[in-house]
Structure 1
Amino acid sequence: MKQTLLDRLLGPLVGVLLGLLACIVPDRASAFCGAAARRLGPWLPHHRIGRANLRAAFPDKNKAWIEATLRDAWENLGRVTGEYVHLGQIWDFDIHAEQAGRITTDAATLALFDELRADNKPALVFAAHLGNWELPAIAGSAHGLGSAVVYRMPNNRAVAKRIEAIRKPLMGRLIRTRPEAVFEMAAALNQGLHLGMLVDQHFSRGVPIDFFGRQCWANPTIARLARQFDCPVIGTRAIRLPGNRFHVTATGPLDLPRDASGKIDVSAATQMMNSIIEGWIREHPGQWLWFHRRWRQNRPRRPDQAR
């Protein structure tokens, strides 16, 4: 693919930005980028998308609440950006000194990680663009679980290489979203790995679900793999706390709906996972990525396409 002048400039610019952020301690990098995004975000076109999404999702909330929540969401996005180069430092969980670090969790989540590590089986893990959404991808590897993470590679090759260099030491096997990715996912599960992916954005080849009272199209990949492999499905999130700390929790294994044949019902299972995500967002609306066109309409689909 031929690179434009902007493409050629973007790689070095991102490299300089990441280099500068790496020179700042994590807390200050997070605070600086969060403050910048909180101030500049409302002037961007995506702010209108976020406002429309929030109004539809929370019709009972007033204008002041909507705008305050959007500013919180911009700040969260900025903080995720500032924290990116420091992910290895931010993940400092120590079961013997939990309150001393940035990462906290609960007994149920630790027990679930222990169970997944001991059963020698594959598992599927879903997450959302909530809090710092990069941290759940680190959790599995950090707790000794063989892990694979599905991710979307940036279009700019130079930027993609820099991002991959940050992720690779922390997140286990990396699987790029591309046509052959489904075969790589299946291979990872066949090898007993724990496969994670973000599932809360628009997916044009997806299945229709109800999300905040409106129809949208969701990624059914985890449900389809669960149907094929009949393995545990877990939800994870890393909620931002005051003082640049995070609370990481896991939900599951889910008792996914099944069809008359006893196999996982792909549409119903996808709905169940997204209903859980909706609940997470309702708890922390200022930590979700509202600036995405989540409720786009697709062309009508044949009934057999959801299988």
Structure 2
Amino acid sequence: MADTPPFTLRHWLQDRALRALIWLLLRLPYRVRVPLCGWVISRLVAPLAGYRQRVRDNLALVLPDLPSAEVERIARAVPDNVGRTVIEIYSGPEFIAHAVSHPLTGGGVAALEEAHRDGRPVILVTGHFGNYDASRAALIARGYRVGALYMPMANRYFNEHYVAAISGIGTPLFPRGRAGMANMVRHLKSGGMLGLLVDQHMGHGEPLTFFGEQALTALSAAELALKYNALLVPTYAIRGPDGLSFDIIVEAPIPHNTPEAMTQALNDSLEALVRGHLDQWFWIHRRWKGKDS
């Protein structure tokens, strides 16, 4: 078992502020709280936390020809989407109802249904795009056995209630680490589905490309698919124009190949989607570390 992180006053104060904000927002109707949280994160938190500048820096690296007005629009819209995502996840049944109210679409729906009937394991891969938990919520609500691997947050106070919130959407959940990995493997071997996010910098990842630049990327999703003969399926939730609804996309499975080729295909899938919806990917992440990002 991992040691409990020591008390950190800064983390404790940050968590108190977040708890208060979430508590207040949850007192409001869903259609009010979601855009309001987006506004708070975009207009108040993002400038102080440096999120807008990070968005600008990432866009300057990979899309240097974007007009400045479009860059500024995206710099405001990205943290707005982040804020909406956070309060949606804390909204439990109301969020699930929005996620499941639209049909699954895309070239992989039939393959997913067949795998579910046959008890074949599936690796569902998404990115920090739209609301990354909406596709998991939509599938679980339809009876699919979807677990998720997650990275415990550095702020242990926030992590406690965040894990409780994502557990409310569905379980099982597997923290990164030896015990979590063992339970995750058992889930896959039993024919379960596993959700993974693979669009963050991984120091020991493979130097693949994303938006034409080298991005260190974990091969774990592809390696798991090969080891357990699982389907490797990209899935996304595109936020609708109303800011509340989603299009749940299930793409065709990635053919089994080398882990590097399969993972590059995942990067390419996400990149194609992001290019069509530049304001819905979390450009606040340091995806291209070491590339002036």
Q: Structure 2 length as normaliser, TM-score? A: 0.89
- The equivalent of 2:280 in structure 1 is 287
Q: Name the SS for the 2:21 alignment partner.
A: helix
Residue 11 of structure 1 and its aligned partner are, at CA, apart by: 4.0
| Aligned position for 1:3 | 7
Unaligned runs of 5+ in 1: 96-100, 259-264, 299-307
AA paired with 1:247?
D
Question: Using the alignment, how far apart are the partners of 1:154 and 1:15 within structure 2?
Answer: 15
Higher relative contact order (CA 8 A, sep 6+): 2
Which residue is equivalent to 1:245?
Answer: 245
Partner residue, 1:274: 267
Match of 2:217 in 1: 218
- State the alpha-carbon separation in 2 of the partners of residues 44 and 94 from structure 1: 29
State whether structure 2 residue 36 is matched by structure 1 residue 17: no
Instruction: Decide which structure has the larger Cα Rg and report it.
Output: 1
Q: Is the 8 A contact 1:209 1:215 kept in 2?
A: yes
Distance 1:202 1:194 in 2: 24
Provide closer, same or farther for how the CA distance between residues 68 and 14 of structure 1 changes in structure 2, counting only shifts above 3 A: closer
Match of 1:154 in 2: 153
Shift of 1:93: 6.0
Q: What is the 5 A alignment of 1:163-202? A: 163-202=162-201
Q: 1:52 to 1:9 in 2, by over 3 A?
A: closer
Q: Within 5 Å, which residues of 2 pair with 1:1-307?
A: 1-40=5-44, 41-92=46-97, 101=101, 103-106=102-105, 110-243=109-242, 244-256=244-256, 258=257, 265-297=258-290
RMSD across aligned C-alpha pairs, in angstroms? 2.2
Q: 1:19 to 1:223 in 2, by over 3 A?
A: same
| Structure 1 residue 169 displacement after superposition | 3.1
Q: CA separation in 2, counterparts of 1:196 and 1:15?
A: 27
In the alignment, is the contact (CA less than 8 A) between 1:216 and 1:297 conserved in 2? no
% identical aligned pairs:
27
> Using a 3 Å threshold, how does the CA distance of structure 1 residues 212 and 110 change in structure 2: closer, same or farther?
closer
Q: What's the offset of the Cα at 1:179?
A: 4.5
Counterpart for residue 261 of structure 1: none
Instruction: Indicate the residue corresponding to 1:262 in structure 2.
Output: none
Question: Retained in 2: the 8 A contact 1:208–1:218?
Answer: yes
Contact 2:130 / 2:281 at 8 angstroms: preserved in 1?
yes
Look up the SS of the partner of 1:249 in the other structure.
strand
Shift of 1:183: 2.8
In structure 2, what is the equivalent of residue 304 of structure 1? Answer: none
User: Mean Cα displacement is larger for which, 6-15 or 52-61?
Assistant: 6-15
- Show structure 2 runs of 5+ residues with no match: none
TM-score by length of 1: 0.85
CA distance in 2 between partners of 1:109 and 1:255 (Å): 12
Any idea what the Cα deviations from partners look like across 1:62-113, whole Å, max 9, x if unmatched? 2111111221112111211232221421222698xxxxx4x45437565344
Q: Is the 8 Å Cα contact of residues 135 and 248 (structure 2) preserved in structure 1?
A: yes
